[in-house]
């Protein structure tokens, strides 16, 4: 008996729907892209129950001709390309002719459309891929598509969806991006009968960025522009001060499409790297116009990835554009760049060339410490003690050292040391020099501060005694819809940690209290970063009480770095005392060294007092 059969059209469409429209936001995306392709200048998107019960997209575009209506819902029916050759000159957003057939296969669709030139329009109903009615009606020019009860006939797919609120969050994020990517179109977004977002369509990118991201971000933006025959770029990039903990604000659009391209992402991040802390991502909103023949469009539409045929030049153009803008004088942070870097390389290389892994013998250790000491001393800032190779060596060395400390020396973290160490002072506004028991200890103030805050928060959280510090006046924040969602979803956790945040009206929220353990660190960036990280965790489905604590703790670290204020000797003394009473004061929570040391012996060797 034969068991192979050809699937019917509807089944094929349902399977395709799994790829093309896996959730409400994907449906909204396809429908809006169709509206944009139809030349609409005004689009309204409305959802109810996160788009599960209703999605309605209305546009003022070209409309669909009567005879094309049923065909539009057929698989591979498209008006946008006619043959494979057209693929190389594609300018529209969609061209596969899969969206409408896929959507109609898994929902109840109502289409109302009228071409501007015709007197009347048409209403077409198709449910689960089956035409239900087709009639003539009076309606305005343009197209409205209503999608009801998504996945009503494919319950297995419906099960994969998240709560209505979460799905609405995805749609919101998409709408924000669509608004940013199409400043020339007036877009309105309605959720459960309320207007959530609205853009004017006056082509003013900065207005839109202000509207969506708020004042704090829009006042820190730099305009950039580049033009050549095949590539045009314009848009805004954020000053390094508005960096974020994830790539959520690192956006660019190619020919009107929000897309990911490895080379462009890399060029952006490489250009920012010297200006930004590790694991920080910039704000960008860049608009690329690339000659279509240079794009490899034959990629899956949902994967949001695009290949470029002129990768190298796109990399160079992007990299230069951003680097040059960031190098504008007032932006250069106190990081020494160019000239000093050259001097750097030799020394750094020298260190890296040391045999690895280190033998645990005295000579090797001395060699490393000597190098480190040299570098710390060469007061020309040429080698940052933060440079990764130095850090790694110091850490390795510290591990060897702590073993030694326990064995044949009186430990720096003993009761004894707490009473008897002597603070000599601070160098380079960063390092505290401490003498104890024939050792010179060098403590990185920031790392120490991080470590101490981290331990305080972890301890307080462990003992469940977090308290809030009220902010007077409260800080007003503009949150994106996604961020608002995260706040709402995590209300309980946030308040447990000591955050008090209230809706203020519109996209504004007021931050009334912060965790007391963060003291004077009321910096709102800290809260925003925390929110970013939470949002990211939510997206990765890995939000657990532990991971939240972890996030809080790492925020504390960032707080310490940000605080960056000069400590008085008394404050430093208190900090060092607290540090030394910790179980492991040697490494900050990120693994960077907090304390390094140089023995009297090593110094003497250096001065050739001993051989």
Residues that bind ligand ADP (CB under 6 A): 30, 34-35, 38, 59, 61-64, 72, 77-80, 94-101, 143
Kindly state whether residue 402 participates in binding Mg ion, applying the rule CB under 5 A.
no
Please, what is the minimum distance in Å from the beta carbon of residue 175 to ligand ADP?
17
Of these partners, ligand ADP, Mg ion, none, which one is at the site of residue 347 (CB under 5 to 8 Å by kind)?
none
**Looking only at residues 22 through 51 of this chain, which bind Mg ion when binding is defined by CB under 5 A?**
34
**C-beta of 99 vs 594, nearer to Mg ion:** 99
Please, what is the minimum distance in Å from the beta carbon of residue 48 to ligand ADP?
20
Please, what is the minimum distance in Å from the beta carbon of residue 67 to Mg ion?
19
Please, what is the minimum distance in Å from the beta carbon of residue 518 to Mg ion?
48
**C-beta of 142 vs 235, nearer to ligand ADP:** 142
**C-beta of 95 vs 358, nearer to ligand ADP:** 95
| Residue whose structure tokens are 């800032």 | 381
Instruction: Tell me how far apart the alpha carbons of residues 591 and 447 are, in angstroms, rounded to a whole number.
Output: 10
Of these partners, Mg ion, ligand ADP, none, which one is at the site of residue 59 (CB under 5 to 8 Å by kind)?
ligand ADP
Using CB positions, name the residue nearest to ligand ADP: 94
**C-beta of 76 vs 194, nearer to ligand ADP:** 76
The length of the chain is 611
**C-beta of 30 vs 450, nearer to ligand ADP:** 30
CA distances 286 to 118, 180, 187, 255, 314, Å, are 39, 10, 19, 11, 13
Please, what is the minimum distance in Å from the beta carbon of residue 279 to ligand ADP?
38
**C-beta of 37 vs 167, nearer to ligand ADP:** 37
Please, what is the minimum distance in Å from the beta carbon of residue 152 to ligand ADP?
20
Instruction: Tell me how far apart the alpha carbons of residues 36 and 59 are, in angstroms, rounded to a whole number.
Output: 8
Kindly state whether residue 251 participates in binding Mg ion, applying the rule CB under 5 A.
no
Instruction: Tell me how far apart the alpha carbons of residues 351 and 368 are, in angstroms, rounded to a whole number.
Output: 8
**C-beta of 143 vs 552, nearer to ligand ADP:** 143
Of these partners, ligand ADP, Mg ion, none, which one is at the site of residue 78 (CB under 5 to 8 Å by kind)?
ligand ADP
Of these partners, ligand ADP, Mg ion, none, which one is at the site of residue 514 (CB under 5 to 8 Å by kind)?
none
CA dihedral 542, 546, 550, 551 (to 10 degrees): 50
Rg for the chain (alpha carbons), in Å? Answer: 30
Tell me if 582 sits within 8 A of 455, measured CB to CB. Answer: yes
Helix (H), strand (E) at residue 21:
none
Residue whose C-alpha is closest to residue 288's, from 328, 258, 324, 333:
258
Please, what is the minimum distance in Å from the beta carbon of residue 257 to ligand ADP?
13
Calculate ∠ Cα 133-135-138, nearest 5°.
Answer: 140
- The tokens of 153 are what? 């006939």
Helix axes 362-377, 388-408, angle to 10 degrees: 130
Residue whose C-alpha is closest to residue 537's, from 552, 527, 548, 524:
548
Strands 431-436, 439-444: pairing kind: antiparallel
Residue whose C-alpha is closest to residue 531's, from 492, 494, 496:
494
Of these partners, ligand ADP, Mg ion, none, which one is at the site of residue 181 (CB under 5 to 8 Å by kind)?
none
Please, what is the minimum distance in Å from the beta carbon of residue 16 to ligand ADP?
10
* Among positions 61, 94, 128, 585, the unique one binding Mg ion when judged by CB under 5 A: 94
> Which residues in this chain contact Mg ion in the complex, by CB under 5 A?
34, 94, 99
């Amino acid at each position: 008996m034969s068991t192979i059969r050809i699937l019917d059209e509807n089944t094929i469409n349902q399977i395709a729907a799994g790829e093309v429209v896996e959730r409400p936001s994907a449906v909204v995306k396809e429908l809006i892209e169709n509206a944009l392709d139809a030349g609409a200048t005004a689009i309204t998107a409305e959802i109810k129950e996160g788009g599960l019960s209703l999605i309605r997209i209305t546009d003022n575009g070209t409309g669909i001709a009567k005879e094309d209506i049923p065909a539009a819902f057929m698989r591979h029916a498209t008006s946008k390309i006619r043959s494979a050759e057209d693929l190389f000159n594609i300018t529209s957003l969609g061209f596969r002719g899969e969206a409408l057939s896929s959507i109609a296969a898994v929902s109840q669709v109502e289409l109302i459309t009228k071409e501007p030139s015709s007197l009347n329009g048409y209403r077409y109903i198709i449910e689960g891929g089956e035409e239900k009615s087709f009639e003539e009606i009076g309606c305005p020019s343009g197209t409205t598509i209503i999608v009801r009860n998504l996945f009503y006939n494919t319950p297995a797919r419906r099960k994969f969806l998240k709560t209505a609120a979460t799905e609405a969050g995805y749609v919101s994020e998409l709408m924000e991006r669509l608004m940013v990517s199409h400043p020339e179109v007036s877009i309105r977004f309605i959720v459960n009968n309320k207007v959530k977002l609205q853009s004017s369509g006056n082509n003013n990118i900065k207005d839109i960025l202000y509207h969506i991201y708020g004042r704090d971000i829009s006042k820190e933006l730099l305009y950039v522009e580049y033009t050549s025959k095949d590539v045009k770029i314009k848009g805004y990039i954020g000053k390094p001060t508005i960096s974020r903990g994830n790539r959520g604000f690192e956006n660019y659009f190619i020919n009107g499409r929000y897309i990911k391209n490895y080379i462009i992402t890399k060029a952006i991040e490489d250009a920012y790297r010297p200006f930004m802390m590790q694991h920080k991502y910039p704000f960008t909103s860049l608009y690329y116009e690339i000659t279509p023949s240079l794009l490899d469009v034959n990629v899956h539409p949902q994967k949001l990835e695009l290949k470029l045929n002129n990768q190298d030049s796109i990399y160079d153009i992007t990299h230069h554009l951003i680097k040059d803008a960031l190098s504008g004088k007032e932006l250069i942070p106190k990081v020494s760049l160019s000239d000093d870097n050259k001097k750097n390389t030799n020394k750094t290389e020298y260190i890296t060339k040391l045999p690895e892994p280190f033998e645990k013998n005295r000579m090797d250790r001395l060699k490393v410490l000597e190098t480190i000491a040299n570098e710390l001393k060469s007061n020309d800032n040429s080698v940052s003690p933060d440079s990764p190779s130095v850090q790694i060596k110091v850490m390795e060395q510290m591990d060897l050292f702590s073993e030694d400390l326990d064995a044949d020396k009186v430990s720096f973290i003993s009761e004894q040391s707490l009473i008897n160490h002597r603070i000599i002072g601070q160098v380079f506004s960063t390092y505290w020099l401490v003498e104890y028991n024939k050792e010179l200890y060098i403590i990185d103030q920031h790392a120490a501060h991080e470590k101490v805050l981290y331990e305080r928060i972890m301890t307080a959280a462990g003992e469940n005694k977090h308290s809030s510090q009220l902010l007077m006046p409260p800080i007003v924040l503009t949150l994106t819809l996604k961020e608002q969602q995260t706040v709402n979803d995590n209300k309980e956790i946030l308040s447990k940690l000591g955050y008090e945040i209230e809706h203020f009206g519109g996209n504004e929220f007021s931050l009334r209290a912060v965790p007391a353990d963060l003291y004077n660190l009321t910096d709102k960036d800290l809260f925003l970063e925390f929110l970013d990280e939470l949002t990211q965790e939510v997206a990765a489905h890995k939000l657990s009480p532990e991971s939240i604590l972890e996030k809080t703790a790492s925020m504390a670290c960032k707080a310490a770095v940000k605080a960056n204020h000069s400590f008085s000797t008394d404050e430093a003394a208190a900090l060092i005392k607290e540090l030394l009473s910790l179980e492991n004061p040697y490494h900050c929570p990120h693994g960077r060294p907090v304390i390094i040391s140089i023995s009297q012996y090593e110094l003497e060797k250096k001065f050739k007092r001993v051989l």
